[in-house]
Chain A
């Protein structure tokens, strides 16, 4: 690592400004969420929390149009299911690409890399028609099944498995009579744990945040994800911003929690991925 340039006070000053700009909107979201609606008309705008959070939360969960609790539960179900599935199938495929020999391997890997560059979001219209045929419209499988395994996940796991699992270890397991499935379970998966954790975190956050596809396919206002509850709030309750902001704060909280607990790993994952990719 090159630490050529010493950090001057000016460096720190610039970083404080950058960090302040990054954190402020999030901070302010919690400020408004904890105040009454009077805060919206105040100039200069208040920047410290108030005591109204409880009342705002009660109003939010009583709101008959937002289905906020349903949204939270649905988002938890969707994000958890997708995360477990992506980690499972990606580590399996990543192991195969990194450590097993089979015809068409490189070609298939190239296809996977290509899929990461293709804007598949543009296929929403046929996807919507397909969901109508499957009768999954307005139901959670519509937002779960299409992302059960992703090209990004497979590629990330393949890159990591290539260096984290030694061929000797796999060969030894094979000598002991292990089939590939058992090698994956007993040898590869334990070695992949750090990368699998990062993939799981990134997947959870992406899925929790997903907006466009749920917006298209979950049209029943009574069965939203939490992001769609926010849409209902934002479109209908712009007179009651402290309630809307309470919604945004609660929808953001799980992500912040994950980030505070595992930020180091997430940063490591993003930076390592950048060097390797």
Chain B
């Protein structure tokens, strides 16, 4: 993602025509007024809570206690010794890996299909994007039924090909697969359109040159398309990382019945954000402990995003291609 900060020269100040004092004040200070609402709202409801989370995490702070004593790192040490935390961490990473990798590969493939001379172009694009605009909670309920053990459509189809019924909610790994299917269903088409946009910006003569050099379709795709898409692929991966590691609605709504915030009786599909909710809100209302979960999750996202960027930098060989990418 390259951001051009000065894509266009800003408007030059009006020529010497002795503008009124009011007008000078206007040009000088009104821009601050126009950008102020964002900084006000973000400051109060975005930045302050995020920073304050850290402060809360250093205290023994719950709903009922009148005072909340400072306890230093105690919440963190307790958390690191908490088996349920590690369990949720493994769930989160597991779901993240088995959803993101196929999702981005499928998106790449789908973008490649959409990049051909198609009839009813907009229709195809709308069809692959429609999952992205549906209500997440609604779709999670639907998938919960599709993946039902007794009468779910997935198990029925597996039965047709001779596979025994899978307990999609009671088996830990199976629940990861089901939730990943939900995530991929929603995001593959969206990522495909982003990748498609980048594909269309690749100059045609690069392919012609490659074809003259004897590169076939597949070779052209891996040697021309993919390397040139690198910035976009990195962008998609970072977005998928930030969203995927905070996964909440899908696993929460996939589970119903008693205590769904635990992600099943044995926490089969409880993610870290669900674990944070379970501790910070009903039933425990332990704000300090929940905040410690939030900060560790924040750190995890930063680490995984950085690792992804480092890995993807190497994508498609280490050719220098600054400038060519855009």
Contact = CB atoms under 8 A, between A and B. Distances in A.
Interface stretch (B82-90, B172-180, B186-194): B186-194
B280 A109 contact: no
A92 B34 CA distance: 6
6 contacts: A22-B127, A125-B294, A149-B42, A235-B260, A252-B138, A275-B201
A251 B135 contact: yes
Contacts of B1: 277
Contacts of B116: 3-7, 11
Contact of B134 (A255, A267, A272): A255
Contacts of A205: 133
Nearest to A121: B246
Contacts of B308: none
B171 interface: no
Contact of A263 (B45, B114, B126): B126
B31 A277 contact: no
Interface stretch (A50-58, A60-68, A174-182): A174-182
B10 interface: yes
B151 A26 contact: no
A11 B235 contact: no
A234 interface: yes
Interface residues of B, number: 112
Given A100-B11, A248-B138, A263-B126, 17 more contacts: A1-B200, A6-B117, A18-B110, A29-B139, A43-B156, A45-B156, A89-B37, A100-B30, A108-B35, A118-B46, A149-B37, A163-B7, A167-B8, A211-B249, A212-B249, A226-B135, A271-B196
B56 interface: yes
A216 interface: yes
Contacts of A277: 1, 3, 235
A7 B117 contact: yes
Contacts of B10: 99-101, 105
Contacts of B31: 96, 100-102, 105, 180
Given A21-B185, A105-B31, A122 B130 contact: no
Contact of A2 (B7, B122, B200): B200
A25 B139 contact: yes
Main DSSP-derived SS at the B contact region: helix
A211 B122 contact: no
Interface string A109-144: 111110101111111111111100000000000000
Interface in B146-203: 146, 151, 153, 156, 185, 189-190, 193-194, 196-203
A209 interface: yes
A256 interface: yes
Given A4-B207, A252-B138, A180 B235 contact: no
A204 to B, nearest CB: 10
Interface of A: 1-7, 11-12, 14-15, 18-19, 21-23, 25-26, 28-29, 32, 40-45, 89-90, 92-93, 95-102, 105-106, 108-113, 115, 117-130, 145-151, 154, 162-163, 167, 170-171, 174-175, 177, 179-181, 184, 205, 208-209, 211-212, 215-216, 219, 226-227, 230-231, 233-235, 238, 241, 244-245, 247-249, 251-252, 255-256, 258-259, 263-264, 266-267, 270-272, 274-275, 277
B41 A146 contact: yes
B98 to A, nearest CB: 17
Interface string B88-113: 00000000000000000000001001
B283 interface: no
A94 to B, nearest CB: 9
Given A122-B50, A123-B49, A22 B189 contact: yes
B141 interface: yes
A161 B48 CA distance: 30
B142 A272 contact: no
A125 B56 contact: yes
B248 interface: yes
Contact of A241 (B45, B145, B185, B199): B145
Contacts of B9: 167
B222 interface: no
B127 A23 contact: yes
Given A120-B50, A212-B249, A22 B128 contact: yes
A28 B146 CA distance: 10
Contact of B45 (A28, A98, A145, A266): A145
A109 B5 contact: yes
A234 B141 contact: yes
Nearest to B200: A1
A234 B124 contact: no
A98 B8 contact: yes
Contact of B126 (A40, A151, A215, A259): A259
Nearest to B15: A175
Given A6-B117, A19-B124, A274 B297 contact: no
Contacts of A209: 135-137
B30 A180 contact: yes
Which of B37, B134, B280 counts the most A-chain CB atoms under 10 A from its CB? Answer: B134
Contact of A256 (B134, B146, B217): B134
A215 B261 CA distance: 11
B271 to A, nearest CB: 12
A238 B246 contact: no
